[in-house]
Structure 1
Amino acid sequence: MTKKQRRTFNAEFKLQVVQMIRQQGLSVGDVCRDMKLGETAVRRWLAQADEEAAGRPGIGKPLTAEQQRIRQLEAENKQLRGDVDILKKAFGLLCPRASMSYQFVEQLHEKAVPVGRLCRVLGVSRSGYYGARQRAKFAPKACLVSAQLKTEFAASGRVYGSRRLGAVLRAQGLRIGRHRVRRLMRENKLRALWRRKFVHTTDSTHALPVSANVLARRFNPSGPNQAWVSDITYIRTRSGWLYLAVVLDLYARKVVGWAMAPTMHAELVCAALQLAIAQRQPAPGLIVHSDRGSQYASGLHQALLARHGLVGSMSRKGNCWDNAVMERFFLSLKTERVWQRDYANHAEAMTDIANYIVGFYNSVRLHSKLGNLPPNAFEQQSAIKQPIAVSEKT
């Protein structure tokens, strides 16, 4: 059994993580799960940053027993208030129809609560409950499926089509095919949002050196940190354009690095790549593919690749298919999030896009290429299977 290598992080990476949480509004748990960091370490970095901002370097004095008890009570009180809010919302969503009351009786009866008592409290008859229970064995549950379909469609941000909605419902135990999902979507007027806009972001008319197409459209590597793709896109805000640079690991289609700025200079793509390198710490020989833009051909970006032993790769001139996976991610980002928003300024756009990447795309969004798993879940599943495959060979 190989000993797990201890990861080390420099001060610049720690500051990036602190700024991601403080400025972009991400939660500590989401950032830790996405970047595979220890929550204790990240909270220590936050405390150190707060102490330094207050002019007191290092972590402050430990809390007294009384202060710890007060904080514990405050946390419990906050949790209780949250639970009460959830119950209030749940009761507000309850439908007064008798069929919903019968379902409530069914659920509580499974927990050893007498049917007669439940019917009396809810104001329904026992004969009506048993009649509905008998009919439910033969009648289709179209109403419930439609309600569940609407819920999952709304939870996806109104972006899931029939394939992904069908996968979500089947994962919840429903036996439903894609054609039935399509029919229910038509009946309930559920249509995935789709809109396309384009702005030119690649300037390949330069005299800088261009790398060969080393990736050659091999978009399915056998493991993580073997091939990354990267590109720049634009985000429209009322305060002007915001440019987003992204680095994506082809193995799990996971976003491993990103950066945003009002200009698309070489520093933008270098910041995204530096975040990916600090987070993943890849071995030399990793392929980093991009288009022929001047940012990626710049000396700054090429020096960063050489410093870490990474292999540069660029698409052929005028051939967008050589970087198709990255283009597909940008299309998903815009149809599922950006084009549904009207950002007032750069800060609002940066917060929302960071939440999409960390809180939805990497951790929740189903990916058909990954067997309808999110990138984080796919990587975790692959990490479990890998030791098993090694032991079988030995």
Structure 2
Amino acid sequence: MRREKVNYLINLIKIHGLSVLDKSYTHYSKEYKEHAIKRVLLGNESINAVALDLGLPGNGMLSNWIRSYKENGYNVVIKKKGRRIHEQERVKRIRTPQARKRQVASPEFKAYCRKRIYKKIGCLGSKKKEPTKTEIAQAVTELRHELGLAVKKIIEIINANEDLPHISRSNYYDVYTREDKDQVHHSDVMMRIREIYDEIKNRYVAPGYRRITHILHREGYQINRKTVNRLMRKMDLYGYVMKRRHPYSSYQGDIKGRIKPDLIKRKFFALRPNMKWYTDITEFNLRGKKLYLSPIIDGCGRDIVAYNISRHPNLKQVMSMLDDAFKTNQALNGLIFHTDRGWQYQHKAYQHELAIRGIEQSMSRKGCSPDDGLMEGFFGILKREMFYGQEKKYASLDELEQAIRKYIDYYNTERTKDKLKELTPIEYRNKSLVA
């Protein structure tokens, strides 16, 4: 809000010069206010543009005039200074119904009502699909409260326009008085959806309907995900979506003889654990300070096998990650380990550790991040759900590191996926080992 005020003042000075700031208190007449208000309501000009043109000290002044104009029956009222006496209050109560009648009869109000109704009803539906009677009836109810008009009058205005979807009074009252079936049949599910949504949102970002459907299924609810989606939209609950940002790259050129062929060919899935592993390094930039995460993800259950968090993306980080992975996973002969062409993965020590265990090394093509799409996908999920837009939550890199560790544990043991048959990565891994 402060930035908007500063921008407004800068534009005001550009148009009227610095002298506009030296103006003392100005009294605005009734005619002056009415002219400015009509430019906005009937002339389709923006409040900001009109306020700048008139040299008002702030656009909030014009907004207040418009609000007062509507509240007083579309009449400009110049308030007198001083405290109201009881007689004036009594006269005002008597005149309120009369002012309402004048408001409805004024041509400005009628024009505004038609414009508002046409706009709201015209925005319903889409080019390919006509709006339902329920949607139209809901819009009519909202217009009824906003404009203070009778339902009959609103429907007459709608039906008089051939370009708008029509509705009869009987249709409207049928929808308006119809019992909400969701409140009858899904009240307990809606309550549980709200609890799950708030629980996950408080820990990470708002979950989508698929995640909530998985949790409901695990708790024994027999409900379709389309129904969950509809109920969430009805309760104004939406999942968090954010664009991915550019990933960290450690590529510094090809070391002769160290580049390996792509053995994966974007066929990321593996039938059993420890058949295909993927790794990469991603960067977290927290107010100029950087943290680097180097994990290994399994192609079978999409679980994080091992990971290392460091302040520097050096060889030690990658080698420590390998040590942790090899401690908990034996007999890796024949495993395909896929990476990009980062300098760490071309290093002699790294390639030696893989070779002595019979691990085949695979590399993406030069500058082709989709070749390592499984790892890139995990980084996108991780940062969307616990980092992007939430940087203010972390006071230091130590707090961020702890949050990453907690999230990886949550990702492995609690976060379900459609592709894993609504199981968590660890559950799917264990099931695959038994099978």
- Residues in 2 aligned to 1:353 and 1:363: alpha-carbon distance in whole angstroms: 14
CA distance in 1, matches of 2:308, 2:370: 23
The one of 353, 369, 373 equivalent to 2:423 is 373
1:277 partnered with 2:326: yes
Alignment of 1:1-394 (within 5 A): 140-156=184-200, 157-195=204-242, 196-208=244-256, 209-238=258-287, 240-339=289-388, 340-342=390-392, 343-358=394-409, 360-384=410-434, 386=435
Q: 5+ unaligned residues in a row in structure 1: which ranges?
A: 1-134, 387-394
Q: How far did residue 216 of structure 1 move? A: 2.0
CA distance in 1, matches of 2:182, 2:196: 25
Measured in 2, the distance between the counterparts of 1:187 and 1:138 equals 10
Q: With the length of structure 2 as denominator, give the TM-score of the two structures.
A: 0.54
Change (3 A) 1:294 1:148: same
Matched to 1:182, the amino acid is: N
Taking the aligned partners of 2:332 and 2:223, their CA distance within structure 1 comes to: 44
Instruction: Tell me how far apart the structure 2 counterparts of residues 216 and 199 of structure 1 sit (CA, whole Å).
Output: 21
**TM-score calculated relative to the size of structure 1:** 0.59
Give the distance between the partners of 1:227 and 1:138, measured in 2 at CA.
46
| 1:36-62 Cα deviation digits (max 9, x unpaired) | xxxxxxxxxxxxxxxxxxxxxxxxxxx
Once the two structures are superposed, residues 177-216 of structure 1 have per-residue CA deviations (whole angstroms, 9 ceiling, x without a partner) of 2222222222222222222322432324243521111122
Query: Relative to structure 1, is the Cα distance of residues 138 and 350 closer, same or farther in structure 2, using a 3 angstrom cutoff?
Result: closer
Tell me, in whole angstroms, the C-alpha distance in 2 between the residues paired with 1:198 and 1:159.
Answer: 23
Q: Distance in 2 between matches of 1:333 and 1:207?
A: 31
Q: Would the alpha carbon gap of residues 199 and 287 (structure 1) be closer, same or farther in structure 2, given more than 3 Å must change?
A: closer
The answer on whether the counterparts of 2:273 and 2:432 sit within 8 Å (CA) in structure 1 is no
Amino acid at match of 1:237: L
Q: Secondary structure at the match of 1:369?
A: coil
User: Where does structure 2 lack aligned partners over 5 or more consecutive residues?
Assistant: 1-178
Identity %: 31
Q: Which amino acid aligns with 2:184?
A: P
- Contact 2:248–2:281 (CA under 8 A) maintained in structure 1: no
**Higher alpha-carbon deviation: 226-235 or 204-213:** 204-213
Q: Please give the per-residue CA displacement for 1:141-161, whole angstroms capped at 9, x wherever unaligned.
A: 433222211111233334421
The alignment partner of 2:284 has SS state of strand
Gap change, CA 1:188 and 1:284, over 3 Å in 2:
same
- Tell me, in whole angstroms, the C-alpha distance in 2 between the residues paired with 1:269 and 1:230: 9
Q: How many residues align?
A: 250
Q: Deviations over 1:297-348 (max 9, x none)?
A: 1122112212322111001112222111111111111111122343222221
RMSD: 2.4
CA distance in 1, matches of 2:285, 2:237: 27
Give the match's secondary structure for 1:294.
Answer: coil
- 3-state SS of the aligned residue for 1:218? coil
Deviation (angstroms), 1:369: 1.5
CA distance, structure 2, for counterparts of residue 321 and residue 288 of structure 1? 16
Computing the radius of gyration from Cα coordinates, the structure with the larger value is 2
Q: Distance in 1 between matches of 2:332 and 2:426?
A: 20
SS in 1 for 2:195: helix
Alpha-carbon spacing, 1:299–1:164, altered in 2? closer, same or farther (3 Å): same
- The CA deviation at 1:247 is 0.5
CA distance in 1, matches of 2:424, 2:247: 29
Structure 1 residues 283, 170: CA separation in 2 closer, same or farther (over 3 Å shift)?
closer
Q: Distance in 1 between matches of 2:247 and 2:427?
A: 33
Q: Contact 2:208–2:240 at 8 Å: present in 1 too? A: no
| SS of residue paired to 1:289 | strand
Question: Which SS does the other structure have where 1:270 is aligned?
Answer: helix
